[in-house]
């Protein structure tokens, strides 16, 4: 998403707000929106390659799961979401004087409970606020792909409903800042000594040729890459297991990986200043990344 420092810096790129397409700089919501007052909302981030949304149905299914947790009905049907995002992707490319096939984008969708006088209790029957925008995707740099990235660790101090893709992200903001303060790329978190995830990525351990990830429970956000990595491993004959992973196993990994919509699959080669495995991206990372690129070309959505 664009780095925005003041309202004058808001770009005129297209966005969608409550049924209307408008310029991002002109989009306005009420100060009484419960998203603003309580962080009472959910979001999604969908990668778009050459104009085509990747794993769109899975992203929309996760949006439904997050909304269900908040007891907010999905204001749009799957077809309506397809229409909105398709128009945004095309209009955004036009605003950049290019065609959608020539750029990769990242769609951001946010739904809040809507506008009401301030009261913690969830008011029934509010009209949700629906917002979507898109931007040029910023993938990892060639140097990050080649050498992997440095990360740091922290205790997972976020709430215990990490499975909801909620806009209440102060825990994630604090977590990410720990790594930003030391120029590291992500913060790998542990709850009660067991791996959970990073501030905005899932984390994978590779040991003896097998890919290990934390269980899909309330302590992690089930990234859309969870299913994708499992599929790739099954097709490639790479072992795959979800289970609790200790801090010692993370530091003793042969390879350590981040996954997210923007990072795809990216090697962590240093953690808290210690090298992981050989200190360079390993063979399983290379295989997963190559298979990921093939999946993008096939665009399983």
Ligand X SMILES: Cc1ncc(COP(=O)(O)O)c(C=O)c1O
- Binding residue for ligand X (CB under 6 A) from 27, 29, 45, 116? 45
> Containing H/E element for 186?
strand 186-191
Q: Which listed residue (81, 225, 257, 276) binds ligand X by CB under 6 A?
A: 225
Q: Does 259 engage in binding with ligand X (CB under 6 A)?
A: yes
165 has catalytic annotation = yes
- Tell me whether residue 89 or residue 200 sits nearer to ligand X (CB atom): 200
Closest separation in Å from C-beta 89 to ligand X? 18
Q: Considering only CA atoms, which of 163, 165, 167 is closest in space to residue 34? A: 167
Binding of residue 202 to ligand X (CB under 6 A): yes
How far, in Å, are 158, 179, 201 from residue 191 at the CA level?
A: 9, 17, 16
**Of 256, 239, 204, residue with least CA distance to 225:** 204
Nearest approach in angstroms of CB 228 to ligand X is 8
- Nearer to ligand X by C-beta: 18 or 262? 262
CA nearest neighbour of 213 among 270, 93, 228, 61:
228
Could you tell me the smallest distance in angstroms from the CB atom of residue 45 to ligand X? 6
- For strand 20-23 and strand 210-213, is the pairing parallel, antiparallel, or unpaired? unpaired
Least gap, CB of 200 to ligand X (angstroms): 4
Q: According to CB under 6 A, which residues from 142 to 181 bind ligand X?
A: 172
Q: Under DSSP, is residue 296 helix (H, G, I), strand (E, B) or coil?
A: helix
Give yes or no for residue 269 binding ligand X (CB under 6 A): no
CB of 290 to ligand X, least distance (A): 18
User: Taking a C-beta distance cutoff of 8 angstroms, is the pair 35, 110 a contact?
Assistant: yes
Stretch that binds ligand X, among 137-145, 185-193, 222-230, 275-283 (CB under 6 A): 222-230
By CB atoms closer than 10 A (0-12, 13-18, 19+), residue 274 is exposed
Cα angle value 272/276/280 (rounded, 5°)? 120
Residue in 165, 207, 216, 263 annotated catalytic: 165
Positions 109 through 148 that interact with ligand X (CB under 6 A):
none
> Any contact of residue 299 with ligand X (CB under 6 A)?
no
Residue with tokens 């029957």: 125
Residue 195 interacts with ligand X (CB under 6 A): yes or no: no
Number of residues counted as binding ligand X (CB under 6 A): 13
Q: Which of 100, 128, 140, 223 binds ligand X (CB under 6 A)?
A: 223
Number of neighbouring beta carbons within 10 Å of residue 76:
19
Task: Note whether 224 binds ligand X by CB under 6 A.
Answer: yes
In the complex with ligand X, the residue whose CB is nearer, 114 or 166, is 166
Of 85, 110, 260, 270, the one binding ligand X (CB under 6 A) is: 260
For residue 119, the tally of other CB atoms under 10 A from its CB is 10
**Cβ burial, residue 7 (10 Å; 0-12/13-18/19+):** exposed
Asked if 245 touches ligand X (CB under 6 A), the answer is no
Q: Which residues bind ligand X (CB under 6 A)?
A: 45, 172, 197, 200-202, 221, 223-225, 259-261
Active-site residues, by number, are 165
């Amino acid at each position: 998403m664009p780095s925005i420092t003041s309202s004058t810096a808001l770009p005129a790129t297209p966005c969608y707000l409550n049924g209307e397409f408008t310029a991002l700089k002109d989009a306005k919501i009420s100060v009484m929106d419960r998203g603003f007052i309580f962080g009472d909302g959910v979001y999604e981030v969908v990668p778009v390659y050459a104009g085509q949304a990747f794993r769109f149905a899975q992203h929309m299914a996760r949006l439904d799961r997050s909304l269900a947790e908040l007891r907010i009905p999905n204001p749009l049907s799957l077809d309506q979401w397809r229409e909105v995002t398709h128009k945004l992707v095309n209009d955004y490319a036009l605003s950049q004087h290019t065609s959608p096939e020539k750029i990769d984008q990242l769609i951001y969708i946010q739904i809040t409970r809507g506008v009401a006088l301030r009261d913690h209790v969830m008011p029934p029957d509010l009209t949700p606020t629906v917002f979507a925008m898109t931007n040029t995707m910023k993938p990892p740099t060639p140097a990050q792909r080649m050498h992997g990235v440095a990360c740091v660790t922290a205790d997972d101090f976020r709430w215990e409903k990490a499975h909801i893709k909620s806009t209440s992200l102060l825990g994630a903001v604090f977590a990410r800042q720990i790594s930003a303060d030391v120029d590291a790329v992500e913060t790998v978190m542990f709850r009660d000594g067991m791996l959970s995830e990073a501030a905005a990525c899932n984390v994978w351990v590779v040991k003896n040729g097998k890919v290990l990830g934390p269980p899909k429970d309330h302590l992690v956000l089930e990234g859309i890459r969870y299913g994708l990595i499992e599929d790739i491993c099954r097709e490639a004959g790479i072992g795959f297991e979800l289970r609790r992973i200790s801090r010692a196993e993370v530091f003793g990994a042969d390879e350590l990986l981040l996954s997210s919509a923007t990072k795809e699959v990216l090697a962590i080669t240093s953690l808290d200043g210690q090298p992981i495995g050989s200190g360079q991206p390993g063979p399983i990372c290379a295989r997963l990344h190559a298979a990921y690129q093939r999946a993008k070309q096939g665009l399983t959505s």
